[in-house]
Amino acid sequence: PYKVPLDPRGLLELSWNVSYPKQVVHFQLLIRDLQFGLLFGMSDRGEFENADLAVLWSDGHNSYFGDAWSDAKAQLHMDSQQDYQLLRAWRAPEGLYLLFRRAFSTCDPKDYLIEDGTVHLIYGILEKPVHSLQAINISAIHRGLQRVQLLKPNITIPKLPSDRKIMEITAPDVVIPSQETTYWCYMTELPEGFPKHHIIMYEPVITAGNEALVHHMEVFQCAAEFDTFPHYNGPCDSKMKPDRLNYCRHVLAAWAMGAQAFYYPEEAGLAFGGPGSSRYLRLEIHYHNPLVFKDRHDSSGIRLYYTATLRRYNAGIMELGLVYTPVMAIPPGEDAFVLTGYCTDKCTQVALPAAGIRIFASQLHTHLAGRKVVTVLARNGREQQVVNADGHYSPPFQEIRMLKEVVAVLPGDELITTCTYNTQNRSTATVGGFGIMEEMCVNYVHYYPQTELELCKSAVDPGYLHRYFTLVNRFNDEEVCMSPQVSVPQQFYSVPWNTFNKDVLKALYGSAPISMHCNKSSAVQFPGQWEKQPLPIITERLQEATPGCLPAP
């Protein structure tokens, strides 16, 4: 049921299914223009070193299929335990099909563990015959990577009502710019006097032939406080883009490559239209065009299914994690620096209804340095369950994911969001903020029934951060600019990042009081004392599940 193009030309097409009872994935590869074989596999972040691979190769006379792995120098080796099982291979007019299976977990140290979240799939095309597996030179072949969520949730698809209507929000025959990355913005509007409806499902509409170029798409609703928004159709980063478009940030739909249709639970829908809701919508499309095709026309977008028969609950979207502020920073040269944002018991106590809320989907978000994101639900100091986790998170690949099971959050519960960052290629501190070289740590959770709570996030108390800079000054020969006129980012940029200063910053973030943002949609805080709040105390952590293994066939 799941399908994704692997390469930008669309020569390799992967389909797959997932069996949770058997803990296996079946892969079907369509190779449209087979030459002398191909490599297909998985690795931690899409690299070809230390990868787990299924290889089809030909010496010009015979063809071979095997489970292989690559070492730290990208040299291929046949795996002593063959865990990719070839089930069938057949030719069809459109190309060669390979059908093979692989268990989630094999207990083979050379194999990749297939788990929830993003998986980096890699491929390589063999254009010449090879006399052995070891003779394949990975650096010399045509190769690439594709990110997908392999383990889709096994949920029953709700039935759509008979009075459903359809609205397509699509780009108006855009010529995709001949450059690698483009974010395209298009403004459109709902009809005059459009009454309140519930969105109950949406799916992508992709122009035939552009499946490998349309990377992800989002539909945003504009802020209701402005009566009108200017029309615009052009790159989002253009000088010509009107500033007012920055006020169109309320997500109605988000799709990323490899994602399926998104369904709301039967008892909830996302409200749009009617009084107090803007008629103006912004479509944003990320085109990924690494082969720099010219003159490709595109009318892709998102198809909304909606109904006038309102469901029992309005669905809402809430932001968890860290406030966008420079007080949360990551030192340079770190391979796994952790920052945590809290939605505290005090906030859920005042803001959630007595019966609580149900989270059914989640979209994780960081900028370029993010490597892992996880949100955990805690109750009375004990971690209860993972809301959403991605141990191979990749910033270019952000989709709204339906959760395997709905998570109930009650008043007094805590939602703790932790992000892990890699700044090994940076020479100065990375501060929190909106810029692409600044960082974020956010989980947009989709839930029902909708409440007034739109943002439940934290950051370290600024007074304690000031003490950190004072301490750094005392211990170091180099002066850190401390005058009140100097901004927090400037202070971070002037810190000499030795082990001591890094460790003390880690300790500060792990123990200092926090400033809580417990906000209604209008950026007004709920009543309460939100400054200098103690960090939530967790007395019992969730146990990491150790994956069992199927005996190798």
Tell me the C-alpha to C-alpha distance, in Å, between residue 535 and each of 403, 477, 512, 526: 28, 32, 7, 19
Residues paired with residue 177 on neighbouring β-strands, in sequence order:
none
Q: What is the DSSP letter of 436?
A: T
Contact at 8 Å (CB) between 212 and 300?
Answer: no
Give the CA count within 13 Å in the CB-facing half-sphere of 234.
10
Report the C-alpha gap between 229 and 282 in whole angstroms: 10
- Tell which residue, 304, 272, 282, has the closest CA to residue 201: 304
Strand-pairing partners, residue 255, are 217
- Rounded-to-integer distance, Cα 305 and Cα 201, Å: 5
| Cα distance between the two ends of the chain | 25
C-alpha 469/C-alpha 329 separation (Å) is 13
Calpha distance 494→479 (Å, rounded): 8
CA–CA distance, 101 with 85 (Å, rounded to integer): 5
Q: Is the dihedral of CA 104, 107, 108, 113 positive or negative?
A: positive
Q: Which has the closest alpha carbon to 264: 158, 193, 351?
A: 158
Phi and psi at residue 505, in whole multiples of 5°?
-65, -45
Select from 117, 28, 41, 104 the least CA-distant residue to 404.
117
Three-state SS at 220: strand
Dihedral angle over CA of 495, 498, 504, 510, nearest 10: 100
Q: Is 74 left (phi over 0), alpha (psi -120 to 50) or beta?
A: left
Q: Which of 226, 253, 295 is nearest to 446 (CA)?
A: 253
Nearby residues of 467 by Cβ (< 8 Å), 6 or more positions away: none
SS3 category, 351:
helix
Q: From CA 255, how far away is CA 361, in angstroms rounded?
A: 13
Closest CA to 222 of 234, 232, 209: 232
Point out the residues that are catalytic.
183, 365
**Rounded to 5°, angle at Cα 374 from 369 and 380:** 140
Token pair listed for 134: 């070891």
- The backbone region for 449, taken as left when phi is positive above 0, alpha when psi lies in -120 to 50, beta otherwise, is beta
SS3 content of the chain, % helix, strand, coil (to 5): 10, 45, 45
Q: Which residue has the tokens 């940030």?
A: 249
Is the bond leading into 449 cis (omega within 30 degrees of zero)? Answer: yes
